[in-house]
């Protein structure tokens, strides 16, 4: 069967630096995958190639088997890929529902866009914040509204760059649960540093190291792999790594 998203030999060079080195990766429908790795491993560069911010130096990106290498970000969004970068995308002066409605209005009329926006806010547990001004929300709440704008257009694939950055432990646990829930209907790829979050998500993990894929497996195996501990955590595996079923 054709994969939802595939990269073939994806490579990104900056002068003499090979930030992403011949990465072939497959994401299936409704798969939940975390991309992890130490600082400088190439995760952000890979993310930016997938989202159209960078045009790869070599290799291909295939969406449902079709070559989409080098498409601009707006064209990638139109394929059915929802992207959340670390850069805030919402206007401070809008209410949460106005912000989320904007994200859906391209595809639907105002009333239907608002209805879908409300569904997305409720799905993320923040329906009560619909009327709140985005600029006045706490950081974690704002992140959830940003996530709602990504989910509301019902993309087939959601790509998130460090969605829990700056969140409290409670918000991080809540976001992990939400992302697991989202992955029932959407494929989700998450670039993340937070090991608590990665354990809580317990999806598949791809570990980057020096621009390449070092290990790719389920969370339980990856988190107890000595190679991962060597390069990523810099210490031997903990005696017991508990991963939720």
At closest approach, how far in Å is the CB of 122 from ligand ATP? Answer: 33
At closest approach, how far in Å is the CB of 214 from ligand ATP? Answer: 12
Structural contact between residues 175 and 160, judged by C-beta atoms closer than 8 angstroms:
no
Q: Which residue's CB is nearer to ligand ATP, number 38 or number 80? A: 38
By the 10 Å C-beta count (0-12 exposed, 13-18 middle, 19+ buried), 189 is classed as: buried
Nearest to 190 by CA among 99, 88, 82: 82
Nearest to 46 by CA among 198, 197, 191, 144: 191
Chosen residue from 17, 128, 177, 233 binding ligand ATP by CB under 6 A: 17
At closest approach, how far in Å is the CB of 223 from ligand ATP? Answer: 18
What does the per-residue mask of binding to ligand ATP show for 20-59, with x meaning CB under 6 A? -----------------x-xxxxxxx--------------
Q: Which residue's CB is nearer to ligand ATP, number 47 or number 100? A: 47
Chosen residue from 10, 19, 71, 213 binding ligand ATP by CB under 6 A: 19
CA–CA separation, 14 vs 65, rounded Å? 28
Tokens 């990106």 belong to residue: 61
Phi/psi at 67 (nearest 5 deg)? Answer: -70, 115
Q: Which residue's CB is nearer to ligand ATP, number 11 or number 95? A: 11
Q: Which residue's CB is nearer to ligand ATP, number 68 or number 86? A: 86
HSE at residue 34, side-chain half, CA atoms within 13 A, is: 29
CA–CA separation, 51 vs 161, rounded Å? 11
Note whether 14 binds ligand ATP by CB under 6 A.
yes
Looking at residue 244, what DSSP letter applies?
-
At closest approach, how far in Å is the CB of 139 from ligand ATP? Answer: 19
Task: Kindly list the residues in this chain that would bind ligand ATP in the complex (CB under 6 A).
Answer: 14, 17, 19, 37, 39-45
């Amino acid at each position: 069967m054709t994969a939802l998203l595939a990269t073939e030999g994806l490579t990104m060079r900056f002068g003499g630096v090979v930030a992403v080195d011949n990465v072939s990766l497959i994401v299936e429908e409704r798969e939940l995958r975390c991309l992890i790795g130490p600082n400088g491993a190439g995760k952000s560069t890979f993310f930016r190639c997938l989202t159209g911010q960078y045009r790869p130096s070599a290799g291909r990106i295939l969406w449902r088997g079709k070559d989409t290498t080098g498409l601009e970000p707006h064209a990638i969004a139109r394929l059915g890929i929802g992207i959340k970068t670390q850069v805030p995308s919402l206007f401070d002066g809008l209410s949460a529902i106005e912000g989320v409605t904007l994200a859906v209005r391209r595809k639907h009329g105002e009333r239907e866009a608002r209805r879908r926006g409300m569904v997305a806010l409720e799905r993320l547990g923040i329906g009560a914040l619909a009327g709140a001004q985005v600029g006045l929300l706490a950081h974690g709440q704002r992140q959830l509204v940003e996530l709602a704008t990504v989910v509301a257009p019902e993309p087939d694939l959601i790509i998130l760059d460090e969605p829990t950055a700056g969140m409290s432990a409670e918000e991080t646990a809540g976001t992990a649960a939400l992302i697991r829930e989202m992955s029932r209907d959407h494929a989700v790829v998450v670039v993340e540093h937070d090991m608590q979050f990665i354990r809580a998500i317990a999806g598949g993990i791809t570990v980057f190291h020096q621009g390449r894929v070092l290990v790719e497996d389920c969370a339980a195996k990856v988190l107890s792999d000595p190679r991962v501990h060597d390069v990523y955590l810099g210490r031997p595996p903990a005696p017991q790594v508990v991963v939720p079923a």
